[in-house]
Amino acid sequence: MYRCSIMNTEANHLSPSWLNYDTCDCLGKYISESRSGIMSSDKERILVVEDEPELADLYAVWLSTKYSVDVAYGAQEAITKADESFDIMILDRRMPEQPGRKVLREVRDAEYRIQVAMVTAVEPDFDILEMEFDDYAVKPISREDMLNLVSNLIDRESYSELVNKMYELSEKKALLEERKDQRQLSDNGEYQQLIENLDSIKQQVDEKIGQINTQQAFKNI
């Protein structure tokens, strides 16, 4: 649940505009849906961890247009809330209770399958080599960049799942082809279905690689 701090939800960069409560339609909609339990379970779940309430709420409003979002306003709350139900964590690195790297360590030690993006004012240094994050962005971050960051993480996870499935089917195909002759393979419907599924997944992997490469190219411009 968000704290209802007020900001300009249409702002492109992190420069909160102090408006009246009537302008916080997106935030109000989120709170209403959360209380009524109608948030879509099909959406990826994101946990925003940020000790500055205005920024935390702004990130949440941006992301709630596409995803199911919860907010932790500090490190301890983040550790308490983090679990397998979240797909992505947006994590501030510098917080008063304890630093974001300790939250990250807790998440990794718990072996949650959460992708973690550090979004912080701290410029990266050699100490990042010890941190198991999935992406790193330096504030200020725009709404577009935040949405792209999350989209890229989702694409990377989807790609990883596809590659794992491709290797699984490829291994089954190889095992059968070592032990069965061509006629037996041709006459078996399940084997033919495996070939169709493998070809389909290979095509999806190629498409996903193209998407990721395109996103990375735009990121580097």
Mean pLDDT value of segment 208-220: 61
Asked if residue 190 belongs to a domain, the reply is yes
Main-chain dihedrals φ then ψ at residue 50, nearest 5 degrees:
-155, 125
Confidence of residue 207 (pLDDT cuts 50, 70, 90): confident
186 and 136 belong to one structural domain: no
Same domain, 31 and 137: yes
10 within a domain of the structure (yes/no): no
Is residue 11 a part of any domain in this protein?
no
Residues 136 and 164 in one domain: no
For residue 183, is pLDDT > 70? yes
| DSSP H helices in the chain | 25-36, 53-63, 75-81, 100-109, 143-179, 182-187, 189-220
Q: Do 75 and 136 fall within a single domain?
A: yes
Check whether residue 154 and residue 188 sit in a common domain. yes
**CATH number assigned to the domain comprising residue 109:** 3.40.50.2300
* Domain extent for 52: 21-141
The mean pLDDT value for 12-34 works out to: 44
Q: Is residue 204 part of a domain?
A: yes
Q: Tell me, yes or no, whether 134 lies in a domain.
A: yes
Cα distance between residue 105 and residue 60, in whole Å = 23
- Does residue 208 fall inside a structural domain? yes
**Are 27 and 133 found together in one domain?**
yes
Taking residues 129-133, what's their average pLDDT? Answer: 91
Same structural domain for residues 64 and 171?
Answer: no
Q: Is 118 helix (H, G, I), strand (E, B) or coil?
A: strand
Percent of the chain scored above 70 by pLDDT?
Answer: 76
pLDDT band at 27 (very low <50, low <70, confident <90, very high): low
Pick the range with the lowest mean pLDDT from 28-37, 120-129, 135-144, 161-170. Answer: 28-37
Report how far residue 215's alpha carbon sits from residue 217's, in angstroms, rounded to the nearest whole number: 5
- Whether 126 and 160 share a structural domain: no
Q: Quick check: 16 pLDDT over 90?
A: no
Which pTM value belongs to this model?
0.66
| Residue at which a domain ends, from 141, 164, 186 | 141
Within this chain, do residues 193 and 95 fall inside the same structural domain, yes or no?
A: no
pLDDT given at position 160? 72
Total structural domains within the chain: 2
36 and 114 together in one domain: yes
pLDDT for the residue numbered 7: 42
- Whole-number average pLDDT of the chain: 81
Residue 59 CA: distances (Å) to CA of 22, 24, 32, 145, 197: 19, 14, 18, 11, 39
Residue 12 included in any domain: no
- The last residue of a domain, from among 109, 141, 173: 141
Are residues 126 and 167 located together in one domain of the fold? no
Mean pLDDT of 111-139: 92
Residues 182 and 112 both lie in one domain: no
More confident residue, 12 or 57: 57
Q: Among residues 93, 108, 141, which one ends one of the domains?
A: 141
Q: CA-to-CA distance for 121 and 216, rounded, in angstroms?
A: 22
pLDDT above 60 for 41: no
**Residue 23, C-beta contacts closer than 8 angstroms, at least 6 positions apart:** 6, 8
Let me know if residue 4 belongs to a domain. no
d(CA 175, CA 173): 6
Average pLDDT of the residues in 56-84 = 96
Cis peptide bond N-terminal to 140, omega within 30: yes
